[in-house]
Structures are given as structure tokens and as C-alpha cells.
Amino acid sequence: MLIGAHVSPAGGPANAVARGEERGCQAIQIFNQSPRQWKPTVYSDEKIAAFHEAVEASESVDALLIHAVYLINCASEDEEIRRKSLTSLTASLQAGQALGAVGVVLHAGSALKKGGDVDKAMQRAAAVIAEALKESEGCALHLEDTAGAGGTLGRSFGELAALLEAAGGGQRLGVCLDSCHLYASGYDVRTAEGLTDVLDDFDAEVGLGRLQSLHLNDSQVGLGSNRDRHAVVGRGELGDDGCAVFLSEPRFQDLPCILETPDPDLEGATEMERCAQLRERGAAARR
């Protein structure tokens, strides 16, 4: 498992590698544009080359994920929002290709209106996703599971499978599983046995071959709450034991695993060391 964190690419993506190294990251995740603006960032050839040089010289950072911005709603009933979402998502995939990212992580969208038609929202989202893949090359797109609030798509493995199929089911489509979102959606991943059962269900409905990245976040709220409330690793409902289980899952081997909720009481490198310790603790318990 490549354990890392979300870092800032301010000043250019090569700086994200440096920030990842400072935190002891093996993998990093960035936004490729301001999360508060629709305007995509197009990296110059010089910045792309600098990024590759930084990764090649790095002693720790081996993998990059790009997180598409939260403004995107591929399922919106608003045609302008869908158009802006397509432009932004396409730019993220193009940046991912240029930077050699493992993939772009996407929250597919939401039906928004209470009682909104999920099937129609799914078709709208799938159409935007398929077009973005058509307008880009190479880089994978990882659909992230959601906590299930506000009509968000991907709250169950069945929904993820349906969305992948509706978007064409191509080889560039994958999944990012978030520990907090799984728990909030009703998947109890706090024990090794529970996580095994959950992944067996994922394999049956989606296929483990689609699993390409992970987010490790603890949860402030209870099982099946359908609320997306991240907590610092070990300080939520999952606790140290649940996070150790997630970090030590054998079927997660070699996947990038990103912490999105930094611990304010720990320096970055110390936080990565703690996660490594939790992973070893989980592995020892499994033995």
C-alpha cells in the first residue's frame, strides 16, 4: 500500500512532490485547479517536465492521484453545470495523462432535488463521464463511493456498478473506495471479518479489478448515517482498530491510499509513520 495525503500544488505540481516528501508520503493527491473556481489549470510543458523530474528524484513519492473539484456535478439537471463539469473533468483527465497520474478521482454527482429521479441522474452523469473519457486519452477515472447524502450517486456498490456500465464500462473506468463513505453508507468495515465481507460484496457487484485507489478517513458519525463527516484517523467511529484493519487489508496491496483529513496534532511525516504503525498492527492481528 502506498500511503500518502492530499497536498497543495501551489506554484506548480513539482511543489506537490516536495510537500509530499516533507510529509513522508508514498502517494500524493492534488486538485489540478482551484476547488472554488470553474477555470481549469493547463500546466505548461516546463511545469510538467519539472514534475516528472521531481518524482524521478524523490525517495518516497511514487504515485499521484488527481481529485476532480467538488464543483463538478455530472448528474445536474442544469445543462450549463453539466457543460462546465465536462470541461473541468476533461481538463483533469488531460492533466492526469500529462503528469502520469494513477487516475482522476471523481464524485460523479447528485440528483440534488429531494425525491429526484436517480435513474435519470445516473444517465446524465454517465453521458458526461463517457464524453470526458472520449475527449481525453490514457488517464484512468476512479468513481468514488459516496456517503449517500443529498441524492449523491455511488452510495452503494450496485449504484457504482450501474454507473460504470452506463458510462461504457471501459478499461479506463475504476473505483476509489473511501473508508468514511463506506461506513456512512452502511458498510461496516471496522473489523477484518467485516471488511472481508464488504470486499466480497464489492467483488460480486463491481469486480475487484475495478478497485484502483483508496481514501482513508475516519467518520464523525455512525454506521449508515448517510452523512459525509470526515474525522482524523483513529479519532472517529472507526478508531485505531478500524483504521488498522483498513490499512492492512491484503486486497489493498500496492494501491495508493490517501489521507484527506490531516491530524493537527501531528507533523506530516509523523502522521505517515503512525499510519505505517497502524498498518503493521493490523497485519499482526491478522496473523
124, 142, 144, 279: the active-site residue: 144
23, 82, 142, 215: the active-site residue: 215
Catalytic status, residue 215:
yes
23, 82, 155, 230: the active-site residue: 230
Rounded-to-integer distance, Cα 273 and Cα 261, Å: 15
Catalytic status, residue 52:
no
21, 145, 159, 178: the active-site residue: 178
CA distances from 239 to 161, 172, 180, 189 (A): 29, 34, 11, 11
Catalytic status, residue 6:
no
In the numeric block, the cell 448515517 is attached to 225
Q: Which three cell numbers stand for residue 83?
A: 457543460
181, 190, 210, 279: the active-site residue: 181
Nearest to 232 by CA among 257, 259, 258, 263: 263
23, 67, 142, 190: the active-site residue: 67
22, 46, 53, 70: the active-site residue: 70
Catalytic status, residue 159:
no
Catalytic status, residue 273:
no
CA distances from 143 to 25, 47, 162, 172, 281 (A): 23, 27, 12, 11, 30
Catalytic status, residue 142:
no
260, 263, 273, 274: the active-site residue: 260
Rounded-to-integer distance, Cα 166 and Cα 127, Å: 8
Q: Which three cell numbers stand for residue 179?
A: 473508508
Rounded-to-integer distance, Cα 163 and Cα 106, Å: 12
Rounded-to-integer distance, Cα 269 and Cα 264, Å: 12
Q: Which three cell numbers stand for residue 104?
A: 482522476
Catalytic status, residue 228:
yes
Catalytic status, residue 237:
no
Catalytic status, residue 36:
yes
**Which segments of the chain are extended strands (E)?**
2-6, 27-30, 63-67, 103-106, 141-144, 173-178, 211-216, 218-219, 230-231, 256-259
228, 237, 249, 271: the active-site residue: 228
Rounded-to-integer distance, Cα 202 and Cα 156, Å: 9
Active site residues: 36, 67, 70, 107, 144, 178, 181, 215, 228, 230, 260
